[in-house]
Amino acid sequence: MKISVIVTNFNGLKLLKKNLIHVYNNSPEANQIIVSDDASTDKSLNYLESIRIKYPKLKIISHKKNLGFAANSNSAVKASNADLVVLFNNDIRPVKGYITNSLKHFKDPLIFGVGFAEVGHENWGKIYWSQGYIQYQPGLDIKTSHISGWLSGGSSMVRKSLFTKLGGFDKVYQPFYSEDLDLSFRAWKSGYKLIWEPLAKVYHKHEGTMSKFPRRHLEYVKERNRLLTVWRNIQDPKMLMQNKLAIISRCFFGPNYLKIIIAAKKQIKKYPSPMVFPKLTDQQIFNKFK
């Protein structure tokens, strides 16, 4: 199988200088290393051009207009020439062997993707339904492969054909947050499987784009997208009623939540319905993680 490693970047010059060499050197199984730059203004492109000769596998994608994480990632996956695609944020530093230790899972044609183990936070993703929303938390710290509720959009390997079939990351979540949870849920619902692999190790210091935004703005986007994950994915009537009650409660105790609701509705009007091929019910998905 051909493998492409994709690093998404926006004004991450310092991070590229720090981590890209490790991505390149520790991904010998990859046929291609793609850096997809989302209209950076910090000379990231100048740096990438300066090292192109040194790194023959390097492919540079440059957007003239900032597209946001979802669209930037989707365009890079489309441009790759691979069967399997590694998705990295620019603040990820992989450990050699992470690709080889993930490949065994793709012998199963129903495997959508494999999540990597972040050193110091080696946990699979647990999802469950509670209080009218999709909830998530780290699973138990274990030493063996495990199913996962979601794959990080910045630290995982996916099958390109299935990523494309499901339309990639849903742009309704622009500029960021929840795209990976949404895609993972749609993959499960469509009958595919997600695996967390403890031997596929990476270091992640969380120094990426989101750390540059005001905290208040990040909380606003996170809450809007948390609501969108329900409206875009949940079909169970009982769960939807629980969500409505939760929304009423939030508006009663915090009137500012009305702004979240209005913003979420505006986003839905902008974008088409997500792509999904239902085989499992919402409850069947959550039951896998009890």
Chain segment 27-74, per-residue pLDDT in tens? 999 999 999 999 999 999 999 999 999 999 999 999 999 999 999 999
Average pLDDT for the chain: 94
Tokens read off for 274: 């997500």
Segment 152-169 shows an average pLDDT of 97
Segment 145-159 shows an average pLDDT of 96
Compute the distance between CA of residue 20 and CA of residue 26 in angstroms, rounded to an integer.
Answer: 10
Compute the distance between CA of residue 9 and CA of residue 181 in angstroms, rounded to an integer.
Answer: 20
For 41, 137, 159, 198, 203, the CA distances from 140, given in Å and listed in that order, are 41, 10, 26, 12, 19
Collect all residues with Cβ–Cβ distance below 8 Å to 219 and sequence separation of at least 6: none
For 83, 127, 175, 190, 194, the CA distances from 15, given in Å and listed in that order, are 27, 31, 20, 36, 28
Taking CA 282 as the corner, what is the angle to CA 278 and CA 285, rounded to the nearest 5 degrees? Answer: 90
CB 243 within 8 A of CB 257: no
Tokens read off for 290: 């009890």
Residue 156's φ and ψ, nearest 5 degrees, are -160, 170
Pick the CATH number of 3-211 from 3.90.550.10, 3.20.19.10, 3.40.50.720, 3.30.300.90: 3.90.550.10
Three-state DSSP class for residue 138: strand
Q: Which of 46-55, 79-88, 215-224, 230-239 has the lowest mean pLDDT?
A: 215-224
247-267 pLDDT, tens digit each: 999 998 877 899 999 999 999
* pLDDT at 156 > cutoff 80: yes
Give the per-residue pLDDT at 215. 79
Three-state DSSP class for residue 200: strand
**pTM for the whole thing?**
0.94
Three-state DSSP class for residue 1: coil
